[in-house]
A and B are shown apart, each in its own frame.
Chain A
Amino acid sequence: MLDLNIDDIGKQILAEVADIHDTPAGAYNFRVNSQLAGRHTTENIDIMTKEGLPGIDIFIKPNTKGESVHIPVVVSESGIKETVYNDFFVGDNCDVVIVAGCGIDNCGEHDAQHDGVHRFYVGKNSKIKYVEKHYGSGDGNGKRILNPVTEVYMEEDSVMEMEMEQFKGADSTERKTIAELKAGAKLVVKERLMTHGNQVAKSDYMVTLNGENSTADVVSRSVARDTSTQAFSARITGNAPCNGHTECDSIIMDDGKILAIPSLEANNVDAMLFHEAAIGKIAGDQLIKLMTLGLTEAEAEEQIINGFLR
């Protein structure tokens, strides 16, 4: 069982955003309603409270392999508005999984807002898998607002895989992600987003490929239902011989609105950059095919969306 001073709502949120049911193995830092609710460090991974600013510094020693860091945030009191700065200093030759995520349960009248600013300094030849999930619940009138900022600075031959997921409940999100890559570095971003109700979600990527043979692949898949609004923009800039690809693929439903702006900037003759964007409703023949297998139209729709957002 989770051995922390967290109520049931907090535990449910932890399960949603970080898949945490037990105390995680490895390093962790739990932030609940702006307070530290639990921390564990290992021989190779240290976590320190920042001085002068809310947030933490995470230090991962060179050559740390096969370890993980969980830093989930829970906001379950209405009216909280916070900006938190978390910096990750990853040494050379590491292979580490980092799981972040923020859940807001707002049953009150006031808005609850968590803006997480994450900065990653990824050492040479290190490999990071970063998973970030957002979740909102609660039936109050107060809004649930999440504005994550992620900055990634990648040294030579480092690899960063980012999975960003937001499926439920956040009323408003504005995500900004910037990344700068040195020679041989590789960035892979997989964003999955589903909005409903009146939700508004913006996501903005600026990836700069500065080093020779650096590569970036930024792929977003999203579904906009009801009257929700989404705006996705991704710019890849190539300043060296490099490879960049960005793709945004969306399903639009009901009265949703989607704006997709992929863009490319090449400042080197050997920069190879590609973009793709597609928006469309669920194809009628896809629904019909699944209905011929005995699914109702609603079940067919659910299967198609679940597959699309996998």
Chain B
Amino acid sequence: MLELKNLSFSVEDGDRQKEILHDLSLIIDNGKFVVITGPNGSGKSTLARLIMGIEKPTSGRIFFDGQDITDLGITERAKLGVSFAFQQPVRFKGIRVIDLLRLAAGKTLNINEACNYLSEVGLCARDYIQREINSSLSGGELKRIEIATLLARQTKLSVFDEPEAGIDLWSFQNLIRIFENMRREIKDSSIVIISHQERILNIADEIILLADGRIKKTGSAAEVLPELIGTTAAVNACDRLK
């Protein structure tokens, strides 16, 4: 279970403080599939980074399974069972896909096991397993490898920052199937997804709508979606381009 208590985060903006998140409190129960949505600049990605420990809150506390993790670093949180998929995955010179999957799994994966994770995200494992995670991979390929590293991690809490961005050529159904498998296979695991995508919002147990750094509304898809449809918070990719 993840609990955020009165969480605020601000950054320096010239000679004043700019508040990105304001006194935010929420609970994400075990086994839940939660989507955090909201317009651009509402603080969604910041919230995800605070949960992973990449940013530190200005005030407030974060609890994971009852333990106060506010002062723990990224590594400690990762070891406790928090994982994070970057919106823009990182490239490395010389580190191969198999290396990253092994680091994620925290053990020596054999090639077959590693290949299974890649097949799950729709990549032909044979073609990718020895590839370097460098600029020769497209944004969409990197994104899927990023998701595969979270499959290999098998943690209790997985946070995905806009996992659908850049993977248009792959079907949404597969992405959704992956999230559902994760929930089923990892006992009491919860999944938090930052997304604008209506199809992802549709399958959420709970939607948290952020606006201007505050929680505007929380509830089931049925409760929150009607309010969102037609706003920039939830439209499909093509509509947003119009």
Q: Which residues of A contact B (CB under 8 A)?
A: 221, 249, 283, 285-286, 288-297, 303-304, 306-310
* B94–A310 touching, CB < 8 Å: yes
- Chain B positions within 8 Å of A285 at CB level: 86, 90
Judge whether A249 and B75 touch: CB under 8 Å: no
A143 CB to closest chain B CB, in angstroms? Answer: 31
Docked-complex contact A294 and B79, CB < 8 angstroms: yes
B-side interface size class: 20 to 34
**Total A-B residue contacts, Cβ distance less than 8 Å:** 57
Q: Bound state CA distance, A304 and B99, in angstroms?
A: 11
Chain A residue with Cβ nearest B153? A293
Question: Are B93 and A289 closer than 8 Å at their CB atoms?
Answer: no
Question: With A303-B103, A307-B99 known to touch, is A291 a contact of B73 (CB < 8 Å)?
Answer: yes
Shortest distance from the beta carbon of A103 to any chain B beta carbon, whole Å: 25
In the assembled complex, the CB of B190 is this many whole angstroms from the nearest CB of chain A, namely 17
Whether A293 lies near B92 (C-beta < 8 A) is no
B96 to chain A, nearest CB (A): 8
Interface of A (DSSP majority class): helix
Interchain CB contact under 8 A, B84 and A292: yes
Task: Given A292-B84, A293-B104, A293-B153, decide whether A308 and B75 contact each other with a Cβ distance below 8 A.
Answer: no
Do A292 and B83 touch (CB < 8 A)?
A: yes
Contact A294–B93 (Cβ < 8 Å): no
Question: CB-nearest residue of chain B relative to A296?
Answer: B75
| Inter-subunit contact A289/B94 (CB<8 Å) | no
Interface of chain B, helix or strand or loop or mixed?
A: mixed
Is the pair A249, B78 in contact by a Cβ cutoff of 8 Å? no
Question: Do B95 and A304 have beta carbons less than 8 Å apart?
Answer: yes
Question: B178 within 8 Å of A by Cβ?
Answer: no
- CA A291 – CA B77 in complex, angstroms? 9
Most buried by A among B74, B90, B100: B74
Chain A residues with CB under 8 A of B74: 288, 291-292
A307 touches B93 (CB 8 A): yes
The 9 residue pairs across chains A and B that have the minimum distance between CB atoms = A307-B94, A307-B95, A294-B78, A291-B74, A289-B90, A310-B94, A308-B94, A292-B84, A285-B90
Name the A residues within 8 Å of B78 (CB-CB): 291-294
B118 CB-CB contact with A under 8 Å: no
Q: Is the CB of B153 within 8 A of A249?
A: no
Q: Tell me whether B219 is interfacial, beta carbon within 8 Å.
A: no
Q: Measured between C-beta atoms, what is the minimum distance from B215 to chain A in Å?
A: 25
Q: Are B92 and A286 in contact (CB under 8 A)?
A: yes
Interface-centre pick from B75, B78, B89, B92 (highest chain A CB count, 10 A): B75
Chain A residues closer than 8 Å to B149, beta-carbon distance: 293
Alpha-carbon separation in the docked complex, A100 to B75 (Å): 42
Does chain A have a CB within 8 A of B194?
Answer: no
Q: How far is A308 from B106 in the complex, measured between Cα atoms in Å?
A: 21
Nearest chain A CB to B20's CB is how many angstroms away? 18
B105-123 residues at the A interface, CB under 8 angstroms: 106
> Known contacts A303-B103, A307-B99: does B94 contact A291 (CB below 8 Å)?
no
Chain A residues lying within 8 Å of B27, measured Cβ to Cβ, are: none
Query: B176 near A: Cβ within 8 Å?
Result: no
CA distance A297 to B153 in the complex (A): 18
B126 → A minimal CB distance (Å):
21
Interchain nearest-CB distance for B208 vs A (Å): 22
* B11 interface residue per 8 A CB criterion: no
- Once the chains are docked, how many angstroms separate the CA of A293 from the CA of B83? 7
Contact A295 B86 (CB under 8 A): no
Contact flag A294-B99 (CB < 8 Å), given A285-B90, A310-B94:
no
B151 at the interface (CB under 8 A from A): no
Q: Quick one: closest A residue to B79, CB to CB?
A: A294
Q: Interface digits, B135-168 against A, CB 8 Å rule (1 contact, 0 not)?
A: 0000000000000010001000000000000000
Structural contact, A291 and B75, CB atoms closer than 8 A: yes
A306 to B99, CA, bound (A): 11
Contact at A286–B75, with CB atoms within 8 Å?
Answer: no
Q: Which residues of B contact A288 (CB under 8 A)?
A: 54, 74, 90
Q: Which residue of A lies closest to B101 (CB)?
A: A293
| Set A286, A295, A296, A297: member contacting B103, Cβ < 8 A | A295
- Other than the given A286-B92, A292-B78, A303-B103, 7 more pairs (CB < 8 A) read A290-B103, A291-B75, A293-B106, A293-B149, A293-B153, A294-B106, A304-B95
